[in-house]
């Protein structure tokens, strides 16, 4: 019995030490909504932008927890997507741009980088994650044409096709009991 308990404790500690899942990026797909951080109704569809293996899959918002009660999606609120709770790390606009260069039709999804000295810098969330795009002016509206001056392979004119609401989650939520709480509960039941 002692060996069994020690083995279970070792497995639990290994599971606890494993890193949490990587950031996930979801874009709210509500027709003609644009950027609006107000909570959408449960049942709304979210479109996965990241991670790459889930690109273009849709998930349904099955519940939400507006932690601060302000009616807006915000940092530290929680959302349930397809029955799984997620912790919101960031809420902001998804900016979808398309290259206007001859022979190039690629589509890129960006989100702004906060900070007064970074107003022309954007973080790519799809198809590549974490590339930095720099423009000569801020992206402010749909149908705007912007000059991208970095990265070098993407220099040229781009067309802003859409500005929608997106969230970045860490893949888990404090709404559910943590793994550690579940392990402690299991052991306390075992020792009674």
- pLDDT for residue 141: 94
Q: How far is CA 56 from CA 18, 75, 104, 131, in A?
A: 27, 24, 21, 19
pLDDT in tens, 25-46: 887 766 567 888 999 999 998 8
Q: Give the SS3 label for residue 11.
A: helix
Residue 81: pLDDT over 60: yes
pLDDT in tens, 51-62: 878 878 889 999
The dihedrals phi and psi of 53, each to the nearest 5 degrees, come to -70, -15
pTM above threshold 0.85: no
Residue 68: pLDDT over 70: yes
Residues 6+ apart with CB under 8 A from 92: 35, 37, 111, 112, 165, 166
């Amino acid at each position: 019995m002692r060996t069994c308990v020690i083995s279970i404790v070792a497995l639990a500690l290994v599971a606890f030490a494993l890193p949490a899942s990587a950031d996930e990026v979801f874009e709210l797909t509500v027709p003609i909504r644009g950027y609006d951080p107000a909570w959408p109704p449960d049942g709304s569809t979210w479109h996965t932008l990241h991670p790459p293996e889930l690109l273009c899959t849709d998930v349904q918002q099955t519940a939400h927890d507006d932690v601060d009660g302000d009616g807006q999606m915000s940092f530290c609120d929680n959302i349930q997507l397809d029955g799984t709770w997620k912790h919101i790390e960031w809420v902001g606009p998804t900016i979808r741009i398309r290259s206007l260069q001859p022979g190039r039709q690629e589509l890129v999804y960006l989100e702004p980088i906060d900070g007064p000295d970074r107003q022309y810098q954007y973080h790519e969330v799809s198809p590549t994650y974490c590339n930095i795009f720099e423009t000569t002016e801020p992206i402010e509206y749909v149908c705007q044409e912007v000059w991208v001056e970095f990265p070098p392979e993407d220099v040229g004119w781009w067309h802003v096709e859409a500005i929608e609401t997106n969230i970045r989650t860490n893949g888990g939520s404090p709404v559910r009991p943590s793994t550690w709480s579940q392990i402690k509960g299991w052991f306390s039941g075992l020792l009674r």
